[in-house]
Chain A
Amino acid sequence: KQEVTQIPAALSVPEGENLVLNCSFTDSAIYNLQWFRQDPGKGLTSLLLIQSSQREQTSGRLNASLDKSSGRSTLYIAASQPGDSATYLCAVRLSTDSWGKLQFGAGTQVVVTP
């Protein structure tokens, strides 16, 4: 059974520092991996999607890498801002569930202090 783990569970950094969030998964046969952001009391917003054949994806200050063979993905957020405070979740799609079923990690709660 696929298990998705996110470390650390919580992270607090001063504004301007770079954020590094880790995600690991036990079954390397994934279709793709997605990073989401969740603000308190709200639903999830998709940030980046990496196909299994890709090594990284970038969007503005966000960069996500994928090492499928080792079962790891890392989300980098450059020059963090207080507005980046949220919970970040990674989720994987198994190759056998191409219709879109996601297996989520528990998330990393991020606080960026001014």
Chain B
Amino acid sequence: DAGVIQSPRHEVTEMGQEVTLRCKPISGHNSLFWYRQTMMRGLELLIYFNNNVPIDDSGMPEDRFSAKMPNASFSTLKIQPSEPRDSAVYFCASSPAGDPYEQYFGPGTRLTVT
């Protein structure tokens, strides 16, 4: 299995631009998580999907952030408009129905907003 796939791996954009991060979970997994990691705040959960439905989005920082999961094999995290304080590494993780505690992380997308 290829593991959790994220794209792009690196993204540099200017303030005000729209940014879309993509995630392909492991096939057969039914839960998907988006995290953000910064030096200041550490690793924070942004949103959690179960069976493609958002269950907990309390970690989404503000309305500029939105996440979708149109099907079991694809999710996006969009920031519009982006700001320099959004610079971070964004991780996607997935877990199987039979073992919800085993989260498999992707390699992350390093976002830099100038």
Contacts and interface: CB of A to CB of B under 8 A. Distances in A.
Interface string B44-72: 11001010000110000000000000000
B100 interface: yes
B16 to A, nearest CB: 28
Contacts of A102: 45, 103
Interface residues of A, number: 20
Interface in A81-111: 89, 91, 93, 99-102, 104-107
Given A49-B101, A100-B101, A44 B91 contact: yes
Contact of A99 (B42, B48, B106): B48
Contacts of B55: 99
Contacts of A101: 45, 48, 56
A32 B101 contact: yes
Interface in A2-31: none
A61 interface: no
Given A42-B108, A44-B91, A93-B101, A105 B50 contact: no
5 contacts: A43-B106, A44-B93, A44-B103, A44-B105, A106-B42
